[in-house]
């Protein structure tokens, strides 16, 4: 029970509200940042939770019993989406309609909470309208990498200047001050300008300029070119682009290692295990799942594989039900695979403690869908990446890791290209990464970034200071 003196102390602190759209890739970094604002910077934070279509994993994360004093979870009432979405509604459209309906109570909620400011993710921009009416400053937390922010700031001009589809352009898209983007790497939401996914993406990202500032989940050494371009180039200044604050890597805190994974990993040599996980929402087709299994077996490398039911319908089939899907690997992996790979591999259904696994000394590489959270978790632990993009901006991320950062190999083909990556190619890439000279170079680079990430987050480091300076400004302005 909170004492009267403790309550009074909390109410004297700046009151910050944090609001995320559903989906673990957005909820996790905003929630970790919210905890940091409380424990490291002495603010009071209300985390507003969109409960409609929230996964079991999201509920468990936000309602854990060990929240720090000064952080409260405020659940928004559930809303009925049955007349707006169905099983075929794409992810961003579904998220946006969910947020639109859930925010019908936002004005009343904010009036009652009376926060000094609100921090939102990039798909909650409907909050700008409510907060403008209430004179509440809004900051955006940009969950993907900075190179996508640069592209997004450029998108309204691209939308005005280009006729037809961007994917049909004869040359890569030249984003001001940044690496060009090959048309085949363009994110899903801009590949067809006629559909709602594109309209929602353009809507949200064209409103980023309305923010009081933009938090970037990155650090200066990881994306120096994109950060410098947004800060310095006249193009971005003329938009005008709000001040950017690199505050990353903000990643999920380590969960306890499961007994099964920990015991198995402890028996493996250093840098010898390939960790395979395709994100909280990603799925493979049945055919691709079979080829991946055979490729791993043929590579003869040690592996730990987090598997889920394949889906031939959609690469993001698990986005809204992560943590709740039934899963029997024997029903969809090649017959005898589990028995044949018993000595070299461990198959884990549905979920594993990813950060704890990536921290383990036996992990030598990560076969990843290249969602930004997973990339940051991998690099923060000095682990290179085999990129296996599935949806959203993951192709762009995989290319950036391989060509700009130098910590990854991008798998060729796959669901997004309309082809299947064959078992021979998979075995070749896995062996090259785990045993070859290229893999050693990738690991060395990844370990350099681990050190720079750690320094950025230390007291006095670039990311720590970026947030601390702003938090101190809030205290000076809003403390009663």
Q: Which of 41, 44, 121, 147 is catalytic?
A: 121
Dist. CA 75–CA 321, nearest whole Å: 18
Domains 4-248+455-478 and 259-454 share a fold: yes
**DSSP bridge pairs for 72:** 46
Domain boundaries, the chain: 4-248+455-478, 259-454
Domain 259-454, architecture per CATH? 3-Layer(aba) Sandwich (3.40)
Is 44 among the residues known to form the active site? no
Catalytic residue among 26, 41, 147, 360: 26
Give the model confidence (pLDDT) of 176-231 as tens digits. 999 999 999 999 999 999 999 999 999 999 999 999 999 999 999 999 999 999 99
Please tell us whether the domain made up of 4-248+455-478 is placed in CATH 3.40.50.20. no
Burial group, residue 159, by CB count within 10 angstroms (0-12, 13-18, 19+): middle
Q: Which pLDDT does position 350 carry in this prediction?
A: 87
Ranges of residues in the chain whose predicted pLDDT is under 70: 1-11, 314-326, 412-418, 480
Burial of 284 (0-12, 13-18, 19+ CB in 10 A): buried
The question of whether 121 is a catalytic residue gets the answer: yes
CA-to-CA distance for 28 and 13, rounded, in angstroms? 24
């Amino acid at each position: 029970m909170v004492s009267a003196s403790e309550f009074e102390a909390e109410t004297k602190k700046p009151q910050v509200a944090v609001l995320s759209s559903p989906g673990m890739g957005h909820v996790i970094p905003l929630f970790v940042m919210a905890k940091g604002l409380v424990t490291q910077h002495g603010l009071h934070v209300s985390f507003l939770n969109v409960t409609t279509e929230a996964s079991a994993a999201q509920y468990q994360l936000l309602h854990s019993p060990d929240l720090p004093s000064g952080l409260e979870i405020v659940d928004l009432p559930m809303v009925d989406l049955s007349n707006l979405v169905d099983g075929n509604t794409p992810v961003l459209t579904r998220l946006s309609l969910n947020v639109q309906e859930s925010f019908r109570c936002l004005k009343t909620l904010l009036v009652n909470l009376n926060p000094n400011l609100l921090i939102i993710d990039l798909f909650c921009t409907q909050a700008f309208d409510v907060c403008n009416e209430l004179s509440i400053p809004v900051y955006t937390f940009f969950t993907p990498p900075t190179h996508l922010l640069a592209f997004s700031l450029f998108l309204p001009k691209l939308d005005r200047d280009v006729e037809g589809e961007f994917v049909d352009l004869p040359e890569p898209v030249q984003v001001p001050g940044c690496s060009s983007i090959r048309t085949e790497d363009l994110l899903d939401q801009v590949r067809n300008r006629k559909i709602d996914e594109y309209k929602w993406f353009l809507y949200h990202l064209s409103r980023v300029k309305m923010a009081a500032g933009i938090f970037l989940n990155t650090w200066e050494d990881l994306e120096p070119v994109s950060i410098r371009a947004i800060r310095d180039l006249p193009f971005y200044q003329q938009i005008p682009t709000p001040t950017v604050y690199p505050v990353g890597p903000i990643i999920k805190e380590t969960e306890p290692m499961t007994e099964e994974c920990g015991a198995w990993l402890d028996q493996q040599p250093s840098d010898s295990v390939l960790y395979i996980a395709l994100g909280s929402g990603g799925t493979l087709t049945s055919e691709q799942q079979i080829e991946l299994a055979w490729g791993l077996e043929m590579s003869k490398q040690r592996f730990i594989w987090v598997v889920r039911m394949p889906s031939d319908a959609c690469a993001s089939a698990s986005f809204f039900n992560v943590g709740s899907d039934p899963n029997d690997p024997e029903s969809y992996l090649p017959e005898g695979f589990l028995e044949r790979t018993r000595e070299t591999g461990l198959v884990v259904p549905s979920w594993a403690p990813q950060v704890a696994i990536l921290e383990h000394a036996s992990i030598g590489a990560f076969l990843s869908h290249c969602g930004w959270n997973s990339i940051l978790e991998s690099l923060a632990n000095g682990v290179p990446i085999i990129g296996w993009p599935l949806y959203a901006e993951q192709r762009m991320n995989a290319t950036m890791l391989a060509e700009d950062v130098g910590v990854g190999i991008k798998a060729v083909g796959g669901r997004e290209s309309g082809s299947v990556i064959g078992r021979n190619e998979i075995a070749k890439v896995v062996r090259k990464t785990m045993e070859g000279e290229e893999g050693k170079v990738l690991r060395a680079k990844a370990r350099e970034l681990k050190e720079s990430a750690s320094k950025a987050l230390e007291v006095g480091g670039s990311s720590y200071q970026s947030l601390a300076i702003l938090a101190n400004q809030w205290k000076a302005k809003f403390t009663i």
